[in-house]
Amino acid sequence: MSANQGPTGPESGADAGGELPPDSPQRRMHYAGYQGESADKSDQDSMSSVFKRTKHPVDTSGHPKDPADPRAGGPDVPAGGHDGPEVLGTPPHPTDSSGAPQTSVMRSGGAATATVQGAGGGGGGGITPRAPHSAEYDRRASRRAERLIAFWFTISIVGTVGFIVTNFVGDKHEQYYTPAMGTALGLAIGGLGVGMILWAKRLMPHEHAVQERHEFTSSQEEIALTEEEVALGFADSGLAKYPLLRRSLLAAGTILGGLVVVPLLNLTNSKPGKKLDHTHWVKGARLVNLQGRYVKIGDISIGGIETVLPAIPVKEADGSISYEPKLDVHTKADSTTILIRLEPGVNKPRPGREDWAVDGHVAYSKICTHAGCPVSLYEQQTHHLLCPCHQSVFNVPDGCRAIFGPASRSLPQLAIAVDDEGYFIARNGDYTEPVGAAFWERS
């Protein structure tokens, strides 16, 4: 078979010489490149689009489809022609994942009627509309559902009020505080959520709806229909029919805003102001470690450190002095101090602080001046004190001056001395400068 000859035979439509007519549809379809694309380059370009192939459908062998077949464009479209009108197929009715047809909802006079669309060409089968729930026809059932939903909305109100009251009245350092806040928050949000779910399941109509795709710009008729649908939806929601439900929902939604207000108020109330200008250290207070034992000179070896807190002197009825260790969280928040013993001759006290150290023992606030983290990593060889949070470094012999990292201020120093029994005490009382982060001083 030559390159200019097509297949011979009765079905080929060839002439007596076995060749196809030059302009015949059979010849063009025989030399098609991709399901009907012409062998001619100009025809290939014109037939390369999806719309062109839709106008001139062919089967997998390259022959035109049956004109009577609807997928071929209808009886008015020639079998292999190229001049027919552009016809796009209509997609089948939407179905769910199982292939079952979906249901459209039609409303008339406030009543909803379910219309089942068949799948394919079959007329039987489809989604069976759900039976209406008892609240639609039983007044007692609707009342019970309304009271139950209102109960959960009330639970939400109680939870929100409990969250706010616990936040401002409760003690943040007690064990009950965090569980109480979490429980109240769960009731506030969970109560509202459960109420909304019960509302949708027990009072709103059960429907299967299909939303058809439409143009972005709606017509006036569609706008009017939408307004009608919104009005019908409002009526179906029961807001107008159940006043107790409407009022409890309004109250729960309004007071729920307190969950947003409380964190904002916490931010404004968290500024320490002048609270950090004074700690629990008083003159004569003994230095006590975290185990409640008084620290005595000689207890710390050279290069060693010890975290200490104040033990407040208390005068007894017989005139003797006893000491009450302050190991509670309030004292730890502002009075935590680190006691370090340096090698002899290493400390370089600032002018006026020559007597603030005892036999190489120096005491500085343990609260970092950058963000308030505990400074507790001491390197004996370099005499550097490191903050583990943001790597601020303080030079201990030089008055704990900040030499690296984000901290911009030296650690406050506590003047210490030794009493008659050999225990360390606060020489002058409190720190002479505020402890903690530097930005707290500007709050």
pLDDT digits 0-9 by tens, 21-78:
555 555 554 444 444 444 444 444 444 444 454 445 555 455 555 555 544 444 444 4
- Decide if 90 is inside a domain: no
* Residue 243 and residue 177 in one domain: yes
* Residue 304 and residue 237 in one domain: no
- Decide if 4 is inside a domain: no
Measured distance CA(143)–CA(145) in Å, rounded: 5
Tell me how many domains the chain contains: 3
Which of these, 16, 38, 35, 41, lies nearest to 25 by C-alpha position?
Answer: 38
pTM of the model: 0.44
pLDDT digits 0-9 by tens, 162-180:
999 999 998 887 889 899 9
* Residue 279 and residue 394 in one domain: yes
pLDDT digits 0-9 by tens, 253-283:
888 887 878 877 776 665 655 666 788 899 9
Query: What is the domain extent for residue 342?
Result: 275-442
* Residue 342 and residue 426 in one domain: yes
* Residue 257 and residue 319 in one domain: no
* Residue 415 and residue 366 in one domain: yes
* Residue 200 and residue 262 in one domain: yes
Q: Where a domain ends, among 45, 72, 99? A: 72
Question: Are 210 and 134 spatial neighbours (Cβ–Cβ below 8 Å)?
Answer: no
